Amino acid sequence: MRVAALLICLAWTLNAQAAPASPADMESLLRSMQLDADSDLQKRMHAGKEPLVTFDNATHQQCFDRQVRIMTSDLMRESLSKRLGDEGDRIVAEWARFLETPSGQVFLKSFTGSRQEAEAMMAEMDPEELRKGDAFALSRTGRILIEGLNISPVMDAADFPRFMRKVQEECGVDLQGAQKT
């Protein structure tokens, strides 16, 4: 009977400690991985793509394009947060610690598009540090976040009118006058 009570208390304690990642922690993680709306990576991801809407006024176009990046970042944060679930706080904390290590820095360089710099860093790394990086990437925590980053978030139909209102408010544009591409 005591063992059963102890196991119930242990399970309850572990559940009480598990929590989704806070919005601030998610924002910090996305910023460190250059997935926030104003990062160079986000700008490069959207550069060269056909804009959803074009404006004659360059200021309106820049504002609209930024709102698209904000929406993309918000969708990524929501999608990733759902993927991390009740373990989010732990996973984000472990990733934050990992990203501060030499292996984590190599991962960031590789992820953000500086492959040559990442390879140069790896060539000079201690083999033990390389093993630690590989072990982390293959760990449950590493796999969960990497899989979460591979999800392409999609705006649902209910989000679109909200997005368009925000564009009108933030950019001061009449979307009726915009040209859809």
| 47-70 confidence digits (pLDDT tens) | 767 777 788 888 988 898 888 888
Closest residue by Cα to residue 48 from 33, 65, 73: 65
**Count of structural domains, the chain:** 1
pTM > 0.85: no
Name the average pLDDT for the chain: 79
Q: Which residue range(s) make up the domain with 95?
A: 20-180
Can you tell me the mean pLDDT for 156-163?
Answer: 82
Q: Residue 130, class by beta-carbon neighbours within 10 Å (0-12 exposed, 13-18 middle, 19+ buried)?
A: middle
Q: Is the pLDDT of residue 151 over 70?
A: no
Indicate whether 10 belongs to any domain. no
Name the band, by pLDDT with cuts 50, 70 and 90, for residue 34: confident
Indicate whether 65 belongs to any domain. yes
Name the band, by pLDDT with cuts 50, 70 and 90, for residue 8: very low
Indicate whether 11 belongs to any domain. no
Phi, psi of 73 (to 5 degrees): -65, -45
Indicate whether 130 belongs to any domain. yes
Q: Please give the share of the chain, as a percent, with pLDDT higher than 70.
A: 80
Indicate whether 164 belongs to any domain. yes
**Separation between Cα atoms, residue 90 and residue 31, nearest integer Å:** 18
Note the pLDDT of residue 94.
93
Indicate whether 2 belongs to any domain. no
Note the pLDDT of residue 45.
67
101 within 8 A of 125, measured Cβ to Cβ:
no
Q: Residue 133, class by beta-carbon neighbours within 10 Å (0-12 exposed, 13-18 middle, 19+ buried)?
A: buried
Indicate whether 144 belongs to any domain. yes
How large is the C-alpha radius of gyration of the chain?
21
Indicate whether 96 belongs to any domain. yes
